[in-house]
A and B are shown apart, each in its own frame.
Chain A
Amino acid sequence: MFKLLKYALYDILKSRFAIIYTVFLALVAISIYQVSDDLSKVSLSLMNIMILFIPLIAAVFATTHFYNNLEFIELMLAQPVKRIHVFLSQLFAVVIMLSLSILLGFGLPMLLWGADGSLLTLLAVGVVLSSVFAGFAFLASVLTRDKAKAIGISLALWIYFSLVYDGLVLYVIYSFADYPLEKTTLALVMLNPVDLGRILMLMQLDISALMGYTGAFFQQFFSSGLGILIAVGALLIWMLFPNFLAMRVFKKRDF
């Protein structure tokens, strides 16, 4: 397993994509630090970029990585190693590389110019979103036999979760404005990992506005650890669930 992981990681680093991605993130972070005059503004700008691009890059990269390594995977499957180990080694390699890029790319400028709670949350959310979307990408890859189709599915999922879903929620909120919608919206948000990451950030950046909510439940949700706990729990489920499904399919798939 560790040997497999080592080779998979080595392979990714050789592709140079990791370095380019890290440098890109670092450049973005540095330029934002240069133009913004306080930390909350920095985390705002970084968050806008992160919510949008990190899932996209994770999804596309994981899919292409899976297909580029398909021959290697097939070769490994012919060897006396467990299928799960082959799958997990590839998955972990991708997740580790994506997370490291974020941690280095965003983290180093933070070390240089300082960070606050919201920026640290941002790093964590970045890592989590990367793994969620890598999971989606692996699921798309094992479900199809065509690279283009798999990338298509990953992209569709990305568009759905970062754009379409919020539009739908907004539509629902607007249509049912006369009803008490607080709990419904909260539940709907739980069904989208990107929104969950965003809510975690909101709790850092816009707590004053969130406290404008009526109702004791929300006061409690936002002001105590309960909200963070629930959001983190839901995110963990989002991290594990697609990967688990992909693993199940991979185990049974006929290559």
Chain B
Amino acid sequence: MNRLIIFILILTFRGFSAEAAKIILKPGQSIQAAVDGAVAGDTLIFSPGVYTASAVTIRKPLSLIGENYPVVDGENKGNIFLVAAENVLVRGLKFIRTGKSNMDDSAAIKFFDSKNCTVENNILEDAFFGLHFSNSSKLTIRNNKVKASATREFEVGNGIHLWKCKDNLIEKNEVSGHRDGIYLEFVTNSLAKENLIQGNMRYGLHFMFSHDNTYLRNTFKRNGAGVAVMYTKNVTMQENRFEENWGSSAYGILLKDISDSKVIGNIFRKNTVGIYMEGSSRIQFKENNFKENGWALKLMASCDQNLFQANNFSGNTFDISTNGNTVLNELKENYWDKYEGYDLNRDKIGDVPYRPINLYSMIVEKIPASVMLWRSFMVTLLDRMEKILPTMTPNEMIDHSPKMRPYDFG
């Protein structure tokens, strides 16, 4: 009887210790062997140093934790880690040099069919794809620094790439030098917040068919073509910054076929085009700051039922331009720094409506070279005449209640 009790005790103890087992890896050791030798739930601790690894496959719940950022070198061969499991944690590792191939989309860490996984505090340098997730859910991607140094768009993949994932949190990551900073396709119900995405070759944020997501306090800066989002409904974008996206097809944000969404409290600064939108409907734009953009808004005639309310437009070269005479959107209570009306009844709302489209912006739209004559006396005269007797600019693009003072959004 006593023996039996001891045996059971030993068994439970064994079981318990196995679950919490810590396996310490030394530099040079094979990661794959350590992974294969570990039991589900084990923690692999990486001592500081350099490990070489390629296509390390993880199929059980494990925690991989680095001390002092040990380097995991992919030696330019394919993927570094491949994960298909639940409850995997990867923390504090520095991944460098993945393969550079579009054949297998080489990535530093690639997740398939995984659940409840966390990738945090890692550094990724010179990866083709940084973090690559497909068909997974409940992922947490936090505090990673993903940096590539390619010079051309086709030489590099996306920083954080999610395909067909749901319920994720993407937080406080920094991505630079990749093709797209964050790429989401068929990703639903996720939250991206406080990421800093700058200097990527193509888009800072790029998503398609990714419904019900929220983007909060992210910064997208100096990306090749800004941010482009398409074919999605129920998006919330709040308090993000879109800055310094310069170029002939660079946009603070490009909205194509986006509907039922909210764009609130964002800052659009120094972009060639602040927002470009086509085929988008029922989006609310409120309390955004449009500052020093070439065009604050390019609102194509294919958009309908959008509402622009209580935004600040200041220091933009052109406030709005469009491509047709149909206007199915509503502008109200915005502040326009170019407004020249008066307010006799002192309700802080201008008594004359404001027409944000100016004649010359339509001309520039047709003949880009004519931007050279902008602000010349001749052009100012033309604009004045158009303001008095509108003939070319769409009549309904009008703010009936322009504010006299800018809003203070803090």
Task: For the complex, give the distance between the alpha carbons of A77 and B342 in Å.
Answer: 60
Q: Given A208-B293, A208-B317, does the pair A47, B375 have CB atoms closer than 8 Å?
A: yes
Kindly list chain A residues whose C-beta atoms are within 8 Å of the C-beta of B376: 51, 166, 194-195, 198
Digitize B364-388: 1 where CB-to-A-CB distance is under 8 Å, 0 elsewhere: 1011111111111111100000000
Please state if A209 and B377 are interface contacts (CB–CB under 8 Å): no
In whole Å, how far is B379's beta carbon from the nearest beta carbon of chain A?
Answer: 7
- Among A174, A195, A212, the residue within 8 A (CB) of B272 is A212
Q: Are A186 and B372 in contact (CB under 8 A)?
A: yes
The list of the 4 closest CB pairs from A to B, nearest first, reads A209-B294, A166-B378, A209-B317, A208-B294
Subset of 27 A-B contacts with CB under 8 Å: A37-B406, A38-B314, A40-B315, A44-B375, A162-B377, A166-B377, A169-B372, A170-B370, A170-B379, A173-B370, A185-B369, A186-B372, A189-B372, A195-B372, A195-B373, A198-B375, A202-B375, A208-B272, A209-B293, A209-B294, A210-B294, A211-B294, A212-B247, A212-B248, A212-B272, A213-B371, A214-B248
Q: Are A51 and B377 in contact (CB under 8 A)?
A: yes
Q: Is A71 part of the binding interface, using a Cβ–Cβ cutoff of 8 Å? A: no
Q: Is the CB of B367 within 8 A of A174?
A: yes
Question: A163–B380 Cα gap in the complex (Å)?
Answer: 11
CA distance A195 to B378 in the complex (A): 11
Q: How far is the CB of B404 from chain A (nearest CB, A)?
A: 11
A-contacting residues of B (Cβ < 8 Å)? 246-248, 250, 270-273, 292-295, 314-315, 317-318, 337, 364, 366-380, 406
Q: Tell me if A144 counts as interface (CB < 8 A to partner B).
A: no
From the candidates A182, A185, A205, A211, name the one contacting B247 in the complex (CB within 8 A).
A211
Q: How far is the CB of A164 from chain B (nearest CB, A)?
A: 8
Contact of A235 with B by CB under 8 A: no
Q: Are B295 and A185 in contact (CB under 8 A)?
A: no
Is A236 an interface residue, CB under 8 A from the partner?
no
Across the two chains, which residue of chain A brings its CB closest to B381?
A: A163
Which listed residue (B270, B317, B337, B379) contacts A41, Cβ 8 A? B337
A242: min CB distance to chain B, Å? 21
Closest A residue to B294 by beta carbon equals A209
The answer to whether A182 touches B378 (Cβ under 8 A) is no
CA distance in complex: A252, B406 (Å): 62
Q: How far is the CB of B311 from chain A (nearest CB, A)?
A: 17
With a cutoff of 8 Å between Cβ atoms, the chain B residues found around residue A207 in the complex are 246, 270
Q: When chains A and B are docked, how far (Å) is the Cα of A198 from the Cα of B374?
A: 9
A41–B378 Cα gap in the complex (Å)? 20
In the bound complex, how far is the Cα of B364 from the Cα of A51, in angstroms?
A: 21
User: Is A153 part of the binding interface, using a Cβ–Cβ cutoff of 8 Å?
Assistant: no
Chain B residues whose C-beta falls within 8 Å of the C-beta of A167 in the assembled complex: 378
Q: A98 contacts the other chain (Cβ, under 8 Å)?
A: no
Contact with B along A204-245 (1 / 0, CB 8 A): 011111111111000100010000000000000000000000
Smallest distance from the beta carbon of B378 to chain A beta carbons, Å?
4
For residue A234, give the distance in angstroms from its CB to the closest CB of chain B. 14
- The answer, yes or no, to whether A148 is at the interface (CB within 8 Å) is no
In addition to A174-B367, A205-B317, A209-B364, 16 A-B residue pairs with Cβ atoms within 8 Å of each other are A40-B292, A166-B378, A170-B373, A173-B367, A181-B367, A184-B369, A185-B373, A208-B271, A208-B294, A209-B272, A209-B293, A209-B294, A209-B371, A212-B295, A212-B368, A212-B371
Contact of B366 (CB < 8 Å), options: A51, A166, A177, A206? A177
Are B294 and A185 in contact, with the CB atoms below 8 A? no
Return the CB mask of A176-194 against B: 1 if under 8 Å, else 0: 0100011011100100001
The residue on B at minimum CB distance from A170 is B373
Q: A170 vs B314: C-alpha distance in the bound complex, in angstroms?
A: 27
Q: Which residues of A contact B248 (CB under 8 A)?
A: 211-215
Looking at the assembled complex, report how far the CB atom of A84 sits from the nearest CB atom of chain B, in whole angstroms. Answer: 36
- Determine whether A201 belongs to the interface, using a CB cutoff of 8 Å to chain B: yes
Question: Pick the contact of A169 from B246, B295, B314, B373 — CB < 8 Å?
Answer: B373
A48 interface residue per 8 A CB criterion: yes
On whether the beta carbons of A182 and B272 are closer than 8 Å, the reply is no
Find chain B residues with CB under 8 A from A47 CB.
375
Please indicate the chain B residues that have their CB under 8 angstroms from the CB of A37 in the complex: 406
Set of chain B residues within 8 Å of A223, measured between Cβ atoms: 246
B246 proximity list for chain A (CB < 8 A):
207-208, 211, 223
Contacts of B247 in A (CB 8 A): 211-212, 219
Shortest C-beta distance, A41 to chain B (Å), equals 7
Shortest Cβ distance from residue A248 to the other chain B in the assembled complex, whole angstroms: 32
